[in-house]
Amino acid sequence: MKDKCGVVGVRFDVEKNRDAAALYIYYALQALQHRGQESSGISVTNGCCVLSDKGMGLVTDYFNRERLQKLAGYAGIGHVRYSTTGGSKLENSQPFTVSYKNGTIAIAHNGNLVNYKELKHELESHGRVFTSDSDTEVIAQMLAMELIKNDIVEAVRETMKRLVGSYSLVILIDDKVIGVRDPLGFKPLCIGHVDCGYILASESVAIDTLNGELVRDVAPGEMVILGEKIESYKLVKCKNHAHCMFEYVYFARPDSIIDGKLVYKVRHNIGEILAAECPTDADIVSPVPDSGITSAIGYSNGSGIHYAEALIKNRYVNRTFIMPAQELRETAVRLKLNTVKSNIDGKRVILIDDSIVRGTTSRRIIDLIWRGGAKEIHARIGSPPIISPCYLGIDMASRDELIAAHKTVKGVEFLIGANSLYYISLEGLVKAIGIDKDDLCTGCLTGVYPIEIPGEKCEDKQMKLNQFAPE
């Protein structure tokens, strides 16, 4: 399960810091590297022209002193990307930069447009062409069209009227850095204050890394413009929001604060609630590292059962290739995870994981623990069963692949080979997050989505009250 992207924007007071925007973006992108490892890019302006550089790989693999020194400017944006289907190509990497009548626009996008194809077809029917297959190019073209007719605020407002889906955007127009969040607030975006300037970032850890201070989240439907000063425009009002609950469960770093909630605290709550919802007698509670760690600690604190590491993760294995030799069939798992036998042997183990998607990884991990000599294995999952795909930016799996779309909890329990399996209840998860259920997107857990998606059910609470607000 992979998220799509991380975005950053930085705007300095040109009198105080004329050159360092790219350097700040470089550090901020490193703090967001967990949101995408495929490609990274930076675009900055020095007031005269836009300088861009992007390439495949981690931020620190691609960018070096020489590349950064060529990117002197006082305002800019950055992006790290994990590719969904559509392919791992340099053409799809971001920021996406286009020239138009009045200059250059650079856009960095986290999210997924549900009506991407319709918008693209509409533009194509007017003879427009596309050089990539990303939805970001659609946004860029629509925005450019509006910008030759309107000022920035109206242009963004008009563009937002057409976009359906999730989008947290950071845009460089002239020397302004603009942040936009979709009306339902699927993906996070926050504002921070640093020496001599302001920053926009997908997660607050990027602000921490720059020794800055988190000011607040960008509100759903809001546009902020970082220029000489910060301007804010509430462009679209919705009665409810639809924050992605998987940011708390899995994607975000535990040290991030998203929509006012510290992720660490949410995950700790999940563990405590799991312990309370389904009390289980055991010798140890252990996480599947890394995403299960905090919940396992919470479970231990809630239940009084000893926290112990049954599994150790190899920190250096990102990409390896596996030969299909029979005798090495387990090595793929063993390269990433190994067991600590003394914590397992003869023990009743509660294993905490964030979610189950296809079930294959869970089965392999549980098999490893059985081989370590466990007496019992009880799987406890930090999210309810995933029964429906995500259309809003998570490259999860198709419905066919989602095990919980086809099997009961008992069926999954049998398949993964655990003595017992328990998923946190939806109510429990909502309580752990601390945000009203009506303000969360739970499409993948309920099959009911906050926006209309062809072939899926739509929860009308959120969308029907949408309205484009006068400024």
**Contacts (CB under 8 A) with a second copy, residues 419-458:** none
> Quick one: 7 or 453, whose CB is closer to a second copy?
7
Catalytic residue among 5, 190, 238, 444: 5
Applying CB under 8 A, which of residues 8, 10, 25, 31 lies at the interface with a second copy? 31
* Shortest distance, position 172 Cβ to a second copy, whole Å: 14
Using rule CB under 8 A, residue 320 touches a second copy: yes
Applying CB under 8 A, which of residues 93, 97, 134, 240 lies at the interface with a second copy? 97
CA distance 222 to 180: 6
Residue with tokens 């626009």: 105
Using rule CB under 8 A, residue 340 touches a second copy: yes
Cβ–Cβ < 8 Å for 75, 11: yes
Using rule CB under 8 A, residue 408 touches a second copy: no
Using rule CB under 8 A, residue 350 touches a second copy: no
Cβ–Cβ < 8 Å for 303, 279: yes
Tokens at 273, concatenated: 């609630």
Helices 360-371 and 409-416 cross at an angle (nearest 10°) of 50
CA distance 436 to 191: 23
* Shortest distance, position 129 Cβ to a second copy, whole Å: 4
CA distance 385 to 412: 10
CA distance 186 to 164: 11
Applying CB under 8 A, which of residues 307, 391, 423, 449 lies at the interface with a second copy? 307
* Shortest distance, position 169 Cβ to a second copy, whole Å: 16
β-strand partners of 309: none
Residue with tokens 């960018």: 63
* Shortest distance, position 85 Cβ to a second copy, whole Å: 14
> Quick one: 64 or 467, whose CB is closer to a second copy?
64
Using rule CB under 8 A, residue 269 touches a second copy: no
Using rule CB under 8 A, residue 324 touches a second copy: no
Task: Provide the Cα torsion 368, 372, 375, 378; round to 10°.
Answer: -30
> Quick one: 63 or 391, whose CB is closer to a second copy?
63
CA distance 332 to 70: 41
Cβ–Cβ < 8 Å for 196, 429: no
| Binding positions for a second copy, 104-163, rule CB under 8 A | 105, 121, 124-125, 127-133, 140-141, 144-146, 148-149
Cβ–Cβ < 8 Å for 426, 202: no
Q: Decide the pairing of beta strands 284-287 and 348-353.
A: parallel
> Quick one: 26 or 423, whose CB is closer to a second copy?
26
Active site residue 5: yes
| Binding positions for a second copy, 361-390, rule CB under 8 A | none
Tokens at 412, concatenated: 């999954």
> Quick one: 88 or 342, whose CB is closer to a second copy?
342
The three-state secondary structure class of 456 is: coil
* Shortest distance, position 255 Cβ to a second copy, whole Å: 4
CA distance 425 to 427: 5
> Quick one: 211 or 398, whose CB is closer to a second copy?
211
| Binding positions for a second copy, 196-215, rule CB under 8 A | 196, 205, 208-211
* Shortest distance, position 443 Cβ to a second copy, whole Å: 29
Candidate segments 19-27, 352-360, 380-388, 392-400, binder of a second copy by CB under 8 A = 19-27
Using rule CB under 8 A, residue 342 touches a second copy: yes
CA distance 139 to 6: 17
CA distance 134 to 130: 9
Q: Fill in the per-residue mask, 249 to 268: x = in contact with a second copy (CB under 8 A), - = not in contact.
A: ----xxx------x-xx---
The answer to whether the peptide bond before residue 290 is cis (omega within 30 degrees of 0) is yes
Q: Fill in the per-residue mask, 37 to 76: x = in contact with a second copy (CB under 8 A), - = not in contact.
A: x--------------------xxx---xx-----------
Catalytic residues: 5
